[in-house]
Amino acid sequence: MLVRSLLRAAESGFSLGLELRRLARRRGWTRGHRVPARVISVGNLTVGGTGKTTLTLHLAERARAAGLAPAVVCRRYRPGPAGQGDEELMYRGRLGASHVFADPPKWRSAARAAEAGAGLVLVDDGFAHWALERDVDVVLVDATDPFGGGRLLPAGRLREPVRALERAHWVVVSRAPDAETASRLIDALRPHAPAARFAAGRHALAGVCTSAGERAEARGRAHVVTATGNPEAVVASARAAGFAPVTLSAYRDHHWFRRHEVERERQAAGDGCVLLTRKDAVRWPAGDARVRVLEVAWEWVAGGDACEAMLLAGR
């Protein structure tokens, strides 16, 4: 009872802080920084994994293929031994270090990206970063848990009230299994985001590889070890890949695996493999022959062409 009361009080304080920020912005007491590049934020309303990194990577690679000069701005959250965060390392591995900016605050990283020649700056998790002006706000809503229990932090998983969707230019339903499910959820979301356009997508399994990046077979037992926001989604992907049976060991999001934890999880895997996501793999010791990595890619379910045309070409 005491804990519940304390959480409610903390939630009320958190809500008050958000309202003061909204008031200050509406009255013009605070202003965001504008950088000389097209800026797109890919964010969400809830804590935990909704697919921001997967979609941001997809958009960055689509922009590069279209001849644009994209850069990604991300948070250096819980950096590892080398002083870099897991998302930062993921982006650098796919896009190259010169196209990833992670020094705080985000508006300064965006400014540095523009100075380095980026014509398109994608901000991973920028919806609540009001210090940076954006051209487009994309907000992801997880089809499996759209409103995070309906409570603000720390009582629930919402970082902002659902009415914050009014600020969104695009609302993208993530983890939508099919177009019909996406359509139902979009209909439920429209009253909360009357000015937004809508699309939907999901994480598509792209394959399984070794820690060295070589293709591997997905068969036999897999022990999923993950420190991501949605462990059950990783388990579902493991089963969809063909692993069976699948067991799970979940850690706090962005956790860097220590030597004794690595040994413990190897033992738990028995005669099977230790199965990681790509984001987990950058926090696991390199060169582990027991490791298999699940590779996923963004796949549009509805509205993808229109969304990409507007985000990348501004039309």
pLDDT value of position 18: 46
Q: What is the per-residue burial (b if ≥16 Cβ within 10 Å, else e) of 182-212?
A: bbebbeebeebbeebebbbbbbebeebbbbe
The model's pLDDT over 119-171, given as tens digits with 9 standing for 90+, comes to: 999 999 888 888 899 999 999 999 988 887 777 767 677 778 888 899 999 99
Answer for the pair 288, 257: CB distance below 8 angstroms, yes or no: no
Residue 62: strand, helix, or coil: helix
**Backbone phi and psi for residue 56, each to the nearest 5 degrees, phi listed first:** -60, -45
Structural domain includes residue 5: no
**Domain match, 157 and 272 both:** no
- Does the pLDDT value for residue 96 go beyond 50? yes
Give the whole-number percent of the chain exceeding pLDDT 90.
Answer: 72
In angstroms, rounded to a whole number, what is the distance separating the alpha carbons of residues 225 and 234? Answer: 9
Residue 291 pLDDT grade (very low, low, confident, very high; cuts 50, 70, 90): very high
- Does the pLDDT value for residue 315 go beyond 60? no
Which residue, among 202, 192, 70, has the nearest Cα to 124 in the 3D structure? 70
Reported as type and span, the H/E element at residue 182 is helix 179-189
**Domain match, 264 and 162 both:** no
**Domain match, 177 and 80 both:** yes
The model's pLDDT over 186-226, given as tens digits with 9 standing for 90+, comes to: 999 999 999 999 999 999 999 999 998 899 999 999 999 99
**Domain match, 281 and 132 both:** no
Which residue, among 86, 87, 291, has the nearest Cα to 209 in the 3D structure? 291
**Domain match, 102 and 216 both:** no
Which residue, among 128, 194, 196, 186, has the nearest Cα to 160 in the 3D structure? 128
How many folded domains does the chain comprise?
2
Residue 122: strand, helix, or coil: strand
Structural domain includes residue 111: yes
**Domain match, 89 and 190 both:** yes
In angstroms, rounded to a whole number, what is the distance separating the alpha carbons of residues 248 and 170? Answer: 34
The model's pLDDT over 216-275, given as tens digits with 9 standing for 90+, comes to: 999 999 999 999 988 998 999 999 999 999 999 999 999 999 999 999 999 999 999 999
Structural domain boundaries, residue 164 = 28-204+299-313
pLDDT value of position 22: 55
pTM: 0.90
pLDDT value of position 47: 81
Number of Cβ within 10 Å of residue 89's Cβ equals 21
